[in-house]
Chains A and B, each alone.
Chain A
């Protein structure tokens, strides 16, 4: 089950350092920091529009939109401050190659959720585990197959046989 290549070893070590030195992990540029503040800002502006659409009313006779409006205004203030002070941010991590792993992880989870109601949980579960262990985790064949099969069987035993949860299943 050892890593097949030495480059992987090096990879792991580098990432280890980043993990342990989270404070000193590679910092992102100011663009990332600004973008991360811009998103809630836009959300706040959107919230204001929706709130007015819902009807604001007055303090003594509040409409459905009054409360969301108040929050949206606070959100705009807070994220605008964060945007202006983005230069001082030292807690934004750079998106390195890890983003690819995250993207694949998310895609496989979405596929899992889409397949589950169609073909039951067994095959998607097996595939999801195998994909995460073998492809994303770069583990060996043997542990990937063993863990996937055993875990799927355990889910079946626990949720279908023992708890009778109405989880879509083939068998």
Chain B
């Protein structure tokens, strides 16, 4: 248990005033962008990457992590009050949360979401604290063959379980892998796909791809289809659940914490799947399932607890194996690489301040979130009236100048515009950008470790079944290929069911004339962000 010393040492890092400030800034910013329509956490983190260049590694990741889990909660606010889920992981919350809001219980819904998020997040951090060192020590035995398999498995799972069609995700992933080959060959240093351009000789910077696809691409998409101008914002009383609410939700919160934690570790799953599974579980276990969809508080508590737990535990594969579990984690991976830190099993020993600093910052961040969310919900809701027509130009300006500052290069500005157009076209045609960015990040690792294993084995593919770990991973890959369509189908069915329920609501109590929802009864809130 000597890792506990290091674990406690992480608090020394977090409790430095500057890092506390970054943590607070991160969660506040995260909640803000979770509330505001338009940019998602992936885009925000991507756009802020240049700023983190100059920061201490631990501070940078503390800030970015805060944005990530803060956004999980921010998305809930719009989900409950306006039935407009800010994040994919909050879609299912809209089912019962919005009904509660219409019954005048918005405060209770938001309050229970805050409490559930706090508990789920905290339980997941405890799990992370104990499980992460274990996984990391286990992964120290991994050779190049195991790493190739692991990277491959990661790309496969993210492609098949993410949003959107699996074949399109596969296309996106191969594009990412090909983009990763631009620049010098890692072994022979022969230039590849650089077309004689000095600017491409060292490959494409990850920041450019992330900022282009997620940042500029999303802004361009928003320009063509502006997010809804919020009509009237519902009024609500204090965001405090009653004792009865807490008692009724306690089971849902406990179950959501555990299921969310484990689903978050799986690549490709993460917060969205966790929230869907939690909702389905609660509905199944309820004595009166017909209450669901009409304002059942467990229907808010379960998914909200689970998505926060999952958001937290999705750091495990990144910090211990160096395999990002989703698009946002891929950007975190990039952020660490920018700091000269390669995430992987050695991270815990080589950079304990970063490893434990980030984990411990989540304890603090969750407390910040709980303290902030209850008094600040009113302010956040008022921010909904900030117009996209003002927000988009400012965001694009920050992106352009941010890109320039990375290498003081105008070429990079053009490149980010090109990737912005690609990101826009991908979004329009249903190709998810997440797998592309993930594959780009893992592409280098995959190629290097694949070639190392080939050199070790003299070109024999048998090396991929030569050790127990390799065999397990190979079986997992085969299973992923075989079972992924079935899992994706089940996931989509659940999402379709959610959409259908939101579509034809069983009851429409007192009409809310100002809400856009009433004017378009056929709407299905569909998040515009990639997680």
Contact = CB atoms under 8 A, between A and B. Distances in A.
Interface in A125-161: 125, 128-129, 132-133, 136-139, 143, 147, 151, 155, 159
Contacts of A119: none
Nearest to A79: B171
Interface centre among A12, A33, A37, A82 (most CB of B within 10 A): A82
B171 A40 contact: yes
A50 B178 CA distance: 12
A101 B461 CA distance: 51
B528 interface: yes
Given A15-B225, A43-B175, A147 B193 contact: no
A132 B396 contact: yes
B240 to A, nearest CB: 30
Given A68-B193, A72-B178, A137 B392 contact: yes
Interface in B129-178: 164-165, 167-168, 170-171, 173-175, 177-178
**DSSP majority for the A interface?**
helix
B226 to A, nearest CB: 6
Nearest to A18: B225
B393 A129 contact: yes
Contact of B174 (A22, A40, A62, A113): A40
A42 interface: no
Contact of B459 (A22, A44, A59, A125): A59
Given A113-B413, A132-B396, A167-B401, A95 B428 contact: yes
A100 B372 CA distance: 41
Contacts, number: 211
B164 A91 contact: yes
A60 interface: yes
A133 B229 contact: no
Interface centre among B188, B397, B414, B420 (most CB of A within 10 A): B397
Interface string A47-73: 100100010001111111101100110
B204 interface: no
A89 B165 contact: yes
Interface of B: 84, 164-165, 167-168, 170-171, 173-175, 177-178, 181, 185, 187-188, 190, 192-193, 216, 219-220, 223-229, 387-390, 392-394, 396-397, 400-401, 404-405, 408, 410, 413-414, 417, 420-421, 424-425, 428-431, 447, 450-451, 454-455, 458-461, 499, 516, 519-520, 522-526, 528
Given A109-B420, A113-B400, 12 more contacts: A19-B227, A60-B455, A64-B188, A71-B178, A71-B181, A82-B165, A92-B429, A105-B219, A128-B396, A132-B389, A138-B389, A139-B389
Interface of A: 12-13, 15-25, 28, 32-33, 36-37, 40, 43-44, 47, 50, 54, 58-65, 67-68, 71-72, 74-75, 78-79, 81-82, 85, 89, 91-93, 95-96, 98-99, 101-102, 105-106, 109-110, 112-113, 116-117, 121, 125, 128-129, 132-133, 136-139, 143, 147, 151, 155, 159, 165-167
18 contacts: A20-B84, A59-B454, A64-B185, A72-B178, A81-B167, A91-B168, A91-B429, A96-B224, A102-B424, A106-B417, A109-B396, A117-B410, A129-B394, A132-B396, A133-B389, A138-B389, A143-B390, A151-B394
